[in-house]
Amino acid sequence: MVSKVPLTQVSAISQQVCLITGASRTLGAEISRRMAAEGAKVAVNYHQSAEAAQALCQEQAAAGSSLVPIQADVSQPDQAQRLVDQTWEQLGPIDILVNNVGPYVDTPFLEMPVDDFDRILAGNIRATFLMTQAAGRKMKERGRGVIINIAATDIFHRSHSVYGLAKSGVIHLTEAFALELAPEVRVNALAPDLIADNEGMDPAFVAKSIAGTPAGRLVTRAEVAAMVALLCTPAFDIVTGQTIAMDGGRRLPRINFG
């Protein structure tokens, strides 16, 4: 299923090469579908989910799109570089990089094993750094490119453990790389809140989240994927180093004057 959210000047994405990390499942798969639907040539990165990556590519082949699955652990320098090189060789110069991979855990810091701490930071901050460095160098040399990092509204909270810390690091990298890669390459981030179509969520928690959201609902994967595509169009050529929160206003402070 592909979002029906309309985009401005989205035809500019057609035939561009898009590399998406962690792209075989959930939000990454939805972003892959969206970019393919807009005519991009998509490299679907996966680490261990080979079956899911193949299924996604087969699904999209039936829809008339061609996606290429490429295995790599993007938290490892040699594999991140191989992924960029392999995408370049198989599909052509990379126009768009979406750093979507980002493992999650919310164990309290006082109870967290150090291995979990290291894994979450590596899968978010280190992976974003390695992929942006590898792809960004080539983009800057070529004279153009767009990089979108997937963060989360956990960056605004101090009760979301190492995941919030990791996504805060992703925002720092977004802003730093936007400076280093300018003017040839634009670097932005999206920070979705709780996503409506995530599986296995506690219904009571979902209801409470919706009640606290001014928009009266949660963001969907399709909406995040549509915003990724939109940020890659000329309509956003002046926008770089920014983080766009997709939370329906949930993080806004409220003052009761009653």
Q: Which residues are catalytic?
A: 163
| CA separation for the pair 100, 29 (Å, rounded) | 10
Strand pairing partners for 214?
none
Phi and psi torsions of 237, nearest 5° = -60, -25
CB of 69 within 8 A of CB of 57? yes
- Show the DSSP H helices in 44-197 as ranges: 50-62, 77-91, 114-121, 127-142, 161-181
CB of 258 within 8 A of CB of 161? no
Q: Could you give the count of Cα atoms lying within 13 Å of 56 in the half-sphere of its Cβ? A: 29
